[in-house]
Amino acid sequence: MSGTELKRTPFFKILIANRGEIALRIMRTARRLGYGVVAVYSDADRDALHVREADQAVRIGEAQPAQSYLRIDAIIAAAKTSGASAIHPGYGFLAENEDFAQACRDAGLVFIGPSPEAIRAMGNKAGAKDIMQKAGVPIVPGYQGADQSDATMLAEARKIGVPVMIKAVAGGGGRGMRLVTDAAAFPDALRNARSEAQGAFGDPAVILERAIVNPRHIEIQVFGDRYGNAIHLGERDCSVQRRHQKLIEEAPSPKVTPELRARMGAVAVAAVKSIGYEGAGTLEFLLDPGGEFYFMEMNTRLQVEHPVTEAVTGLDLVELQLRIAAGEPLGLRQEDVKFSGHAIEVRLCSEDANHDFMPQSGTMALWQMPDGVRVEHALQSGSEIPPFYDSMIAKIISHGADRSEARGRLICGLEQTAAFGVTTNQGFLISCLRHPGFAKGEATTAFIGNHRDELLAPRANANAEAALAALLLYVTNPHAPPWRSGRSLAATFPLTMRIDLGHGAHEVDIVRERDGGYAAAVDGSELRFEIDELGRDAIRFRTDGMMESARFLRDGDCLYVLHRGATIAVRDLTLAAPASAAAAGGDGKVRAAMNGRVVAVLVKPGEQVVAGQPVMTLEAMKMEHVHMAGVAGTVSSIDVAEGEQVTTGRIVVEIAAA
């Protein structure tokens, strides 16, 4: 292709219309290629790392930070003000919004992504399925009609039969998605899916699909340029999910053969060529146990899990995006794409796996990421985790010569990760990676559901953890005798400590022995400790002839410990008042389980309710959580209004017990 045939759209400064780790990821490649970078931020992100790292940063948000990054007019104005001539949308927010892509075009800005027409064609699940069906691509049977009335949706659901999946037409990431296994639950699931879709994407429309039992979630990475060239970069297996959101992704898939990869890749390339697709995109498929695959949707953007594809291909996907957006030809033929080794990514999320993956917000007191693996994040010690955005706070990616090596490196990296102050899913991810089913490459989308009890089982060494936690609370107390004081002839007396490790209280008797060591008695067993070294945030000790070490952080009556790859959050209850029924709502007061926004109040004052009845829906980190009545009785007061932001523990509904 000669230079005269190229349709260049040069740019020199890029505004990144996103936040967090993806904003930093895009900045890294943009700067390597010589571009200036501009950040945007909401009030909640005023001091965020992506703001401080940018050349310039423009404020775009106020009272509702989650909506700030959806303000097309403010983002376009920010680009004009800063002198940026191109906008990269990242993922989430406006990344798949055709109106945003059109607004960039109308403003004379280069949109680093596909055209508005391509987003319209493939970004809408219903429209994309129609295009694929006409192209002969197998699709999941379902309903994607324009009639969205309750009666029609219920009738179509009955035709499909259970299990049936409800999916938001716009967007993705598991929002606005519900699996219905009981026909009687369909109306409530439909209402909740619509509400979540409206809140996340501004569009309540949904489609229905027959739920494929025990499939694998396989996606094909594609790239196209404006000259009609298109390639695929192989597949990613994203089957390990909770709430229909991915937790672990890998490339290649353990169950995709070279022949199947060629078939799926050819389908994906043909699809993007048929609509003149430009930029990065991902076609998502369900692969059933018999080896048949069905098209689900297309994501017209860069994916969260793109690093695993970069690891096995050696390509920088953001660089490809920038070059294509500037008008360069793809420069790669399908035969040029080579795959090397295996890569696995986990999403480290601020959530409590032991409490239905409830999102967590707060201050990350200590944040230290591991060496030897790739980490994408935008945090540091002292960073605030706000309740307004997705719960993913980091991606940790390993690459090895084969799957076993990649899995081992990732487990090792997670074991070295120090994230203290906000509960994360770190331990749950390690449990998933260690599980025999995952190790054998057998995980389907049912993996977490089928093995939940095993993955969340209490650790076998709970007594040892309690003993170590009590010891650390004892020796870090400012009034404790110095640990270096050595042997003593003085009499020693046990100190009974009551601690909570998140799964019930333990009573531990700590004794400072005459030889300078410590004994900890818990639940009928006794462990002896000798401290070799005690620093501000680390301890080295010996027990039963074994020398070990642990990281820790003490914050008043709270203690965080990283030991043997597990992070333990401990509360010292020794001087605390006894727990009451209030925490479980047994006093008739329903309390917010997290920081979040009230999206629906489901009862009225004076209404009769039964225990377990939904009374309020709270949205946090892009997911909705229904709160239930703790007792049967009469609603005496509603203490919040829809749209109000509430903090953890706030009383939202009061019930006079029957």
> Could you write out the DSSP letters of every residue in 97-153?
-HHHHHHHHHTTPEESS--HHHHHHHHSHHHHHHHHHHTT--B--EE--S---HHHH
CB atoms within 10 A of CB 72: 17
pLDDT of residue 171: 67
Active-site residue, selected from the candidate residues 194, 242, 301, 347 = 301
pLDDT of residue 503: 73
Pair of tokens at residue 337: 């794409």
Taking only Cα atoms into account, the Rg of the chain, rounded to an integer number of angstroms, comes to: 27
pLDDT of residue 241: 95
Count Cα atoms within 13 angstroms, Cβ side, for 499: 32
pLDDT of residue 407: 98
pTM, to two decimals: 0.85
pLDDT of residue 47: 92
Minimal CA–CA distance to 609: which of 631, 593, 594?
A: 631
Give Cα separations from 649 to 106, 425, 589 (angstroms). Answer: 47, 22, 10
CA distance 655 to 653: 7
pLDDT of residue 485: 65
pLDDT of residue 493: 76
Residue the block writes with tokens 């201050």: 363
pLDDT of residue 239: 97
CA distance 238 to 444: 9
CA torsion 173-301-89-339 (nearest 10°) is 110
Span 214-224, pLDDT tens digits: 899 999 999 99
Span 370-379, pLDDT tens digits: 999 999 999 9
Kindly give the parts of the chain with pLDDT less than 50.
2-4, 581
pLDDT of residue 283: 94
pLDDT of residue 488: 64
Helices 317-325 and 20-32 sit at what angle, rounded to 10 degrees?
A: 70
Residue the block writes with tokens 């996103």: 18
State the amino acid at position 225 in one-letter form: D
434 is catalytic: no
pLDDT of residue 134: 80
Q: Which domains does the chain have, with CATH numbers?
A: 3-112 (3.40.50.20), 141-210 (3.30.1490.20), 216-455 (3.30.470.20), 462-572 (3.30.700.30), 581-657 (2.40.50.100)
pLDDT of residue 585: 59
